[in-house]
């Protein structure tokens, strides 16, 4: 089986105790059956502690939503006591993600992780392939549609990776391509809402983000604070490269999923919306503090990913809004992109 992933994944290293936003806090941590059986067999005091800390297949979090094995140094007691091989699947793999598409497999590292976000924003995007032995094919889909999607995604990634093309122009061209593919496939997307989408685009994007189900209790107050800062924000400044890499991440990670549900244009809009949303957050931070450098950009991109990507309900809600709200039609998103980043509105 062919395995494909961005080249920067090879350099990923967990920050462990140095991480400022540990994945061992605020997340429900499910334990796979094989690891649960292992924990049931561990003897001594540590085995008793393991079993006391598990309920209904998950670790019992503390009142401040910390994993019971996250110690005061920000390290995992299971890791230090039993070794990495004794971690449950989700702890061993996160923030890595994998998708199986019949005879090939793709993967990467999720933007929701602090260390991963720093890699994604700082490194050029390139894909590496290797043969993976002893893996069986899985997932059924229309082979012709997959070929169409792979070709389209290749064009999209090339467009976005070309820094000679203004970011807005590249994203508009990517949406044009998605609309073209959407019109060709046997699973047509729903009719888009018509209208000119009057209103301030940044305010509409923040309002949309503020309506999503929050994962972190600080998210909604942060979005409200950004909305208050809107009258003070300036232009994007010199952060187009970071935003371009965010667009590449979203197109790479999500576009092929439309082979199963036909959401070609919707998943492409997710990339454009995410770039616009994160850009507004960058500009709000700069308006408040006077600067928004690389570390701040990576932190904000991570926070956005955590709230939008890592809650399936929120992602589905956005796809629904992209269909129903005039301000998120392909045409109006194109106008917003042109205004924010430059470029010419195409025919999307």
pLDDT in tens, 236-288: 777 999 999 999 999 999 999 999 999 999 999 999 999 999 999 999 999 99
Total count of domains within the chain:
2
Rg of the Cα atoms in the chain? 21
Q: Where are the beta strands (DSSP E) in 114-232?
A: 127-131
CA angle 23-275-222, nearest 5°?
A: 55
What are the CB-based long-range contacts (under 8 Å, 24+) for 73-78?
73/17, 74/16, 74/17, 74/18, 74/19, 74/22, 75/16, 75/17, 76/24, 78/50
Chain-centroid distance, C-alpha 36: 29
**pLDDT greater at residue 235 or residue 188:** 235
* 301 falls within a domain: yes
Q: Whole-prediction pTM value? A: 0.91
Gap between the Cα atoms of 235 and 231, Å rounded = 12
Count the alpha carbons within 13 Å of 340 in the hemisphere toward its beta carbon.
30
* 16 falls within a domain: no
Q: Which of 34, 60, 93 is the last residue of a domain?
A: 93
Tell me the residue range of the domain where 66 lies.
24-93
Q: Assign residue 237 a region (left: φ > 0; alpha: ψ between -120 and 50; beta: otherwise).
A: left
User: What percentage of the chain reaches a pLDDT higher than 90?
Assistant: 76
* 300 falls within a domain: yes
157 and 221 assigned to the same domain: yes
* 262 falls within a domain: yes
* 58 falls within a domain: yes
171 and 252 assigned to the same domain: yes
Largest Cα–Cα separation, the chain: 67
Gap between the Cα atoms of 132 and 332, Å rounded = 43
Each residue of 172-226: pLDDT tens digit?
A: 999 999 999 999 886 655 556 555 555 689 999 999 999 999 988 899 999 999 9
164 and 246 assigned to the same domain: yes
> Helix (H, G, I), strand (E, B), or coil: what is residue 214?
coil
* 184 falls within a domain: yes
Whether the pLDDT of residue 348 is over 50: the answer is no
220 and 85 assigned to the same domain: no
Q: Which of 52, 78, 93 is the last residue of a domain?
A: 93
Gap between the Cα atoms of 258 and 184, Å rounded = 13
99 within 8 A of 256, measured Cβ to Cβ: yes
64 and 204 assigned to the same domain: no
């Amino acid at each position: 089986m062919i395995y494909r992933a961005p080249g920067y994944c090879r350099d990923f290293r967990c920050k462990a105790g140095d991480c400022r936003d540990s994945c061992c806090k605020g997340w429900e941590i499910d334990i796979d059956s094989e690891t649960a059986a292992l924990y049931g067999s561990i003897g001594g005091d540590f085995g008793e502690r393991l079993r006391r800390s598990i309920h209904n297949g998950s670790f019992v979090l503390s009142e401040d939503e910390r994993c019971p094995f996250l110690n005061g140094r920000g390290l995992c007691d299971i890791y230090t006591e039993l070794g990495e091989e004794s971690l449950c699947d989700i702890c061993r793999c996160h923030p890595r993600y994998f998708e199986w598409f019949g005879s090939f497999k793709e993967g990467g590292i999720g933007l929701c992780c602090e260390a991963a976000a720093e890699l994604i924003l700082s490194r050029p995007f390139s894909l590496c392939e290797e043969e993976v032995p002893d893996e069986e094919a899985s997932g059924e889909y229309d082979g012709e549609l997959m070929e169409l999607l792979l070709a389209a995604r290749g064009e999209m990634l090339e467009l976005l990776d070309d820094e000679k093309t203004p970011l807005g122009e590249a994203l508009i061209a990517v949406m044009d391509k998605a609309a073209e593919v959407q019109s060709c496939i046997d699973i047509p997307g729903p009719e888009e809402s018509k209208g000119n989408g009057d209103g301030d685009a940044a305010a509409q994007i923040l309002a949309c983000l503020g309506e999503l189900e929050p994962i972190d209790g600080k998210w909604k107050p942060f979005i409200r604070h950004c909305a208050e800062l809107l009258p003070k924000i300036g232009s994007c400044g010199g952060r187009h490269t970071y935003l371009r890499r965010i667009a590449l991440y979203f197109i790479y990670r999500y576009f092929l999923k439309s082979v199963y549900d036909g959401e070609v244009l919707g998943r492409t809009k997710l990339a454009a919306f995410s770039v616009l949303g994160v850009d507004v957050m960058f500009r709000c931070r700069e308006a408040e503090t006077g600067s928004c450098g690389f570390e701040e950009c990576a932190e904000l991109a991570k926070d956005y990913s955590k709230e939008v990507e890592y809650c399936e309900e929120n992602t589905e809600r956005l796809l629904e809004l992209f269909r129903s709200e005039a301000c998120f039609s392909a045409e109006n998103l194109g106008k917003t992109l042109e205004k924010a980043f430059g470029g010419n509105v195409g025919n999307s």
